[in-house]
Amino acid sequence: MALLLLRLGNAGSYLPAQTHTLANKLYEASFDARLTSRPAADGGFVLDLSGSDGLTPRHSVPQGGHFLFCDTNNIFSRMTAWLDLAKSQSAGANTTVGSGAANPLLALRSAVLRIDPEFKPLERASARNTDRGRVMAVYGVTRSASALGFDANQLAATLGGADYGYADAQEIQTLGLLRESTMKRLRQDLPPEASRLGLQFWHLRDRSDTGFRCVMPNAPNATIRLRDITVVSEESPSAGWQVAMIVRLLKLPAGHIELGLQVLTRDAEAIELRTLRSRTGMYRDNDATLSSSQIFKALRLKGAFFGRPIMDTSWIMASADYNAGLVYETPGSSRRYEATTVISEGSDWIWVQPTELLRQAS
């Protein structure tokens, strides 16, 4: 029963540690749960013995079929009490917005709400429309920043190749691999830097104003994680790069992964940065005392939406390249910035709003 409830509550938006905690608590809370041949209450869930969908709300199931019924009233009450306790224990904790330091247990409330016997899905912020197209995609903040330096339409045409047909696309989708002949062609056609990005075509399932739901091959060397940054480009002559965050990740049968992408911006570019520090470890506005780091790439978002409009320029960079106490410089110019305002953090990245430092006239 705990596994059925875990599948019901987990929408694919939880980190491994959160999923593990949720599974343990569901196991404890479902000790008296039973599947019965007759419903015990008006609400609750059903299990279709002839299907593979797991527990589904009774109100969404057609009449007829071979069903067993599950009343989750007691389980829902116990899980709600557990979350209320976690909330009271975390009250007064000193956290920073966007720092990810908030109690991770409270993020599981949406999973608990899904096992409410009277649960009805909330109306979405924007309507989803079925789509069967593809997007070209790269994931990982460093590779995404590199991809923004290329024209998306030219890369898509090159990645496809003149003889890229349905058989090749099907093989990518089902096996997560390219035929050797196809791989040789891609290596030959793509620019050297682009060939190292790991470009893929992901197949769309649906779209909305705020993102996409798509499927990618689950290749043996896939390292994709929840909250990874990705850049995608649709198959359209006028399409450009869109920067998105992976907010849902579910493994599917037959070697596939279903992804939920939240688009952060459709107006971004790559930027090169380096950090400056003095030999004593403290910044001074004196070029003779400064040493600089290696140049690294970041994403420059000219406008974004993350629960609220972010109108000013912002950067997304690798966590390893970020230090709130350092000053950043764009090579080839004298413009320097501080980046102490954190918008959000992810798997290996941090999103900040820079403030340009005004240089005093000598």
Q: What is the pLDDT of residue 282?
A: 46
Domain residues of the chain, as ranges? Answer: 2-113, 129-265, 268-357
Q: What is the pLDDT of residue 164?
A: 34
Divide the 362 residues of the chain into consecutive groups of 10 and give the mean pLDDT of each group. Answer: 86 78 91 85 80 77 75 91 83 47 66 82 59 85 90 73 38 43 48 73 87 86 87 84 90 82 92 76 50 83 84 91 88 85 89 84 52
Query: Secondary structure of the chain in the HEC alphabet?
Result: CHHHHHHHHCCCCCCHHHHHHHHHHHHHHCCCCCCECCCCCCCCEEEECCCCCCEEEHHHCCCCCCEEEECCHHHHHHHHHHHHHHHHHHCCCCCCCCCCCCCHHHHHHHHHHCCCCCCCCCCCCCCCEECCCEEEEEECHHHHHHHCCCCHHHHHHHHHCCCCCHHHHHHHHHHCCCCHHHHHHHHHHCCHHHHCCCCEEEEEEEEECCEEEEEEECCCCCCCCCCCEEEEEECCCCCCCEEEEEEEEEEECCCEEEEEEEEEECCEEEEEEEEEEECCCCCCCCHHHEEECCCEEEEEECCEECCCEECCCEEEEEHHHCCCCCEEECCCCCCEEEEEEEEEECCCEEEEEEEEECCCCC
Q: What is the pLDDT of residue 97?
A: 39
Q: What is the pLDDT of residue 242?
A: 94
Q: What is the pLDDT of residue 61?
A: 66
- Report the topology of domain 129-265: Thrombin, subunit H (2.40.10)
